[in-house]
Chain A
Amino acid sequence: MAVNLFYFLVFPGLLFSAVVGALLSWFDRKITARVQFRKGPPLLQPFYDFFKLLLVKETILPKQGSPVVFLLAPVFAVFGATTAAVLILLPLLNISSGFRGDLIVIFYLLTIPSFSYVIGSLASGNPLAAVGGSREMKLILSYESTFLLVIAGVIIKASQYFDLNSIITIQHNSRPFIESVSGVILFIVAIFCIQAKLGLVPFDMAEAETEITEGTFIEYSGAPYALIKLTKYIMLFILPAFLTALLLNGFVLKGIGILWAALKILGIVLLLTLIRNTNPRLKIKQAVSFFLVWMNLLAILAIVLAYFGY
């Protein structure tokens, strides 16, 4: 029990993944700034942001709407993200081997933050948040099926093992899944899914500052908003980590392997950052058809290729 609590709260759960995620968020902001000829924030800026929201800023509750649901939604989001972090990182960091079928659990846990955002926005009673919430809902409905197809593709490549540990071991023993045609296609599709899961441009229409002024999060302030930021930090770390485990051979935490592990995560975050800095925001309709038609087709193609061993 104590060990599990330690896993959840300190390593590799809440504290560890939040700190790494915050540093990655600094990396993302710094790269963005350099692309845009700006100087960028100092290394500890994400921590300043978080603690200022948590400790200094007051929490304002919307008059209309349901305060209990409104306040609980960010808590659910943090719990979902942290539990997913534990289940992903334990096998990935080679601490414990997880359990059979944990892939399915991780998939469900990763959707909890997005659903919490929707619930929180609808509980705030703000029309702009309602628009944001409905957009987020449409987005979830479109990219989740694609993400599931990506996982299905990986499972087929891993000769139908349903747990993360076996997937990593199989890659260690033969070669990483990315070194095949279907692997490359799955990687591309997965990157776009992660982009949408993180709510980055071009899939940030649920927030859309210049249209609906941060949509889903418009009514959040103070500590609840700090929790949302925390969730975003954690997600920014665990989604690339999950992708690393699925397709990029996981981590080998010995000697030069540690450097490689860091480079894999940084590389994926860099890719996400570059995508978000070289594209305008899509309309929700375009995003839905992008995932439901094009990305699904690509994913199915990858699955067929994987089935025939390419």
Chain B
Amino acid sequence: MSKKFLIPIGPYHPLQEEPELFKLYCEGEIVKDIKWETGYNHRGIEKLSESKTYDQVFFLVERICGICSTSHPFAFANAVEEICRIEVPDRAKYIRSIIGELERIHSHLLWVGLAGHFLGYNTVFMWAWKYREPVLDLFEMITGNRNSYAMFKVGGVRRDIEAAKIPAIRKVLAEVKKKTDLLTGAVMDDPVIHARTKGVGILTKEDILDYGAVGPTARASGVAIDVRKDDPYAAYPLVNWKVITAEEGDVFAKAKVRLLEMYESISIIEQCLDGLLKEKEGDIAVKVKNIPEGMGTGRAEAPRGEVFHCVFSDGSNSPARHKIRAPSYVNIATFKKSCIGQSISDATISLAAVDPCYCCTERMAVAYDISTGKRIMNGAEILKASAEKTREIMSKLK
């Protein structure tokens, strides 16, 4: 059994619901080499961005990723505000942080579910995704959308969180905290999960530094890197929280870091809500007349790590050049370290452990009648149905 053979993971594979191709070169069950191909989702966002106005770019970058859809507008706002040299009002900062942290909670819950699914533990998958639902409903209450929240603009945010909504938010958070306790207990105490994830796909501190990995992947290996602390933005310097790290660097440590980060996120949101009560309602944005010439960089800590945006402005109403770097871009490269020498079973969960996001949930929905081929719902009707659902949720939460 010394002949190497190829186990393809992708372009379409049940392990990851996005198109990408990992080629595992195996001898028996052991992975000897790994190569990957991404780019099945290239949409030319950077080029598109040059043809949009600054206001429109927010909606564009929001659609880079469907899961961490607020991290890109966050970084873009930071970049443009650096060009304009403006300080957003504190109220807007709090709202931005609340949205960012809620997103972290739902993204980590999503990952816990998926990790369970990858291990064949579908009960965890279903439970985690059920517990994620109230967070998405909360988003719908605050922003009107379950995903792609359209909250950011240059100089502030688009919608306020009124004081009347705050008790409802706190109620959902308390609920989420309880569910997180339950999930954390289920994951941390299950001996079979320990057997499957401990000592698997280990990334040492040196590996992390060599590959420049970011986010929970780095923090699970003892590298306390977090843009929210290292380059404070929005309301993060105004509240109390700590960076969660673990030392082991294996899959279990990555799960632990993510689960504990959810508690930090909940505490950050609670403090931000307290902060909101102190600020004047309605003061959510500064007026920006035009964007001066110059260059700005913006960073934001997405659930998967640092998102980096660099914007060049020539003084017109759209960016002259817009460069984006998503966290998975650096994290995917660590597979070379974490997967080689593992068995196929371990390699697949190691691939999933960095929570790679191939930035690709672009979609368009049109409802057709199959028999006649006619459109039965046009864009406006779908929008109307969605708005009705929002109102229903709002009335329930009040």
Q: Is the CB of A282 within 8 A of B127?
A: no
Q: Is the CB of A279 within 8 A of B192?
A: yes
Residues of B contacting A204 with CB < 8 Å?
Answer: 120
Q: Is the CB of A36 within 8 A of B196?
A: no
Interface hits, A24-66 → B, CB 8 Å: 32, 35-38
Q: Is the CB of B120 within 8 A of A208?
A: yes
Interface hits, A193-231 → B, CB 8 Å: 201-202, 204-205, 208-213
Q: Is the CB of A35 within 8 A of B14?
A: no
Given known A205-B345, A209-B14, A210-B15, contact A280–B29 (CB-CB < 8 A): no
Given known A208-B345, A211-B345, contact A202–B120 (CB-CB < 8 A): yes
Residues of A contacting B120 with CB < 8 Å?
Answer: 201-202, 204, 208-210, 280-281
Q: Is the CB of A211 within 8 A of B348?
A: yes
Give the total of A residues in contact with B, Cβ under 8 Å: 30
Give a binary string over B1-39; 1 marks a CB under 8 Å from any A CB, 0 the rest: 000011100000111000000000010110000000000
- Shortest CB–CB separation between residue B90 and chain A, in angstroms? 40
Instruction: Give CA–CA (A36, B127) in the complex, Å.
Output: 6
Instruction: Give CA–CA (A211, B118) in the complex, Å.
Output: 8
Does residue A100 face the partner (Cβ distance < 8 Å to B)? Answer: no
Does residue B250 face the partner (Cβ distance < 8 Å to A)? Answer: no
Does residue A131 face the partner (Cβ distance < 8 Å to B)? Answer: yes
Residues of A contacting B125 with CB < 8 Å?
Answer: 36
Q: Is the CB of A283 within 8 A of B119?
A: no
Q: Is the CB of A211 within 8 A of B15?
A: yes
Sample of 6 more A-B contacts, CB < 8 Å, known A204-B120, A281-B121: A130-B5, A202-B120, A210-B348, A277-B123, A280-B116, A280-B193
Partner of A283, one of B5, B190, B196: B196
Does residue B137 face the partner (Cβ distance < 8 Å to A)? Answer: no
Residues of B contacting A38 with CB < 8 Å?
Answer: 126
Partner of A131, one of B121, B130, B193, B344: B344
Given known A202-B192, A279-B192, contact A36–B345 (CB-CB < 8 A): no
Looking across the interface, which residue of chain A has its beta carbon closest to that of B13? A213
Instruction: Give CA–CA (A267, B279) in the complex, Å.
Output: 60
Given known A131-B344, A211-B348, contact A280–B127 (CB-CB < 8 A): no
Q: Is the CB of B196 within 8 A of A37?
A: no
Residues of B contacting A32 with CB < 8 Å?
Answer: 122
Residues of B contacting A254 with CB < 8 Å?
Answer: none
- Shortest CB–CB separation between residue A141 and chain B, in angstroms? 15
Does residue B145 face the partner (Cβ distance < 8 Å to A)? Answer: no
Q: Is the CB of B123 within 8 A of A281?
A: no
Q: Is the CB of A286 within 8 A of B7?
A: no
Instruction: Give CA–CA (A284, B13) in the complex, Å.
Output: 21
List of 6 A-B pairs having minimum Cβ-Cβ separation, nearest first: A281-B120, A36-B126, A280-B119, A280-B121, A283-B345, A210-B118
Instruction: Give CA–CA (A286, B119) in the complex, Å.
Output: 14
Q: Is the CB of A277 within 8 A of B122?
A: yes
Residues of B contacting A281 with CB < 8 Å?
Answer: 119-121, 196, 345
Residues of A contacting B346 with CB < 8 Å?
Answer: 283
Best-buried of B26, B130, B345 by chain A (most CB within 10 Å): B345
Give a binary string over A284-295; 1 marks a CB under 8 Å from any B CB, 0 the rest: 111000000000
Looking across the interface, which residue of chain B has its beta carbon closest to that of A202? B192
Instruction: Give CA–CA (A282, B344) in the complex, Å.
Output: 12
Residues of B contacting A134 with CB < 8 Å?
Answer: 28-29
Residues of A contacting B122 with CB < 8 Å?
Answer: 32, 36, 201, 277
Instruction: Give CA–CA (A63, B122) in the complex, Å.
Output: 34
Interface hits, B299-355 → A, CB 8 Å: 343-346, 348
Residues of A contacting B118 with CB < 8 Å?
Answer: 210
Residues of A contacting B119 with CB < 8 Å?
Answer: 210, 280-281
Does residue B117 face the partner (Cβ distance < 8 Å to A)? Answer: yes
Residues of B contacting A280 with CB < 8 Å?
Answer: 116, 119-121, 124, 190, 192-193, 196
Does residue B366 face the partner (Cβ distance < 8 Å to A)? Answer: no
Instruction: Give CA–CA (A38, B346) in the complex, Å.
Output: 29
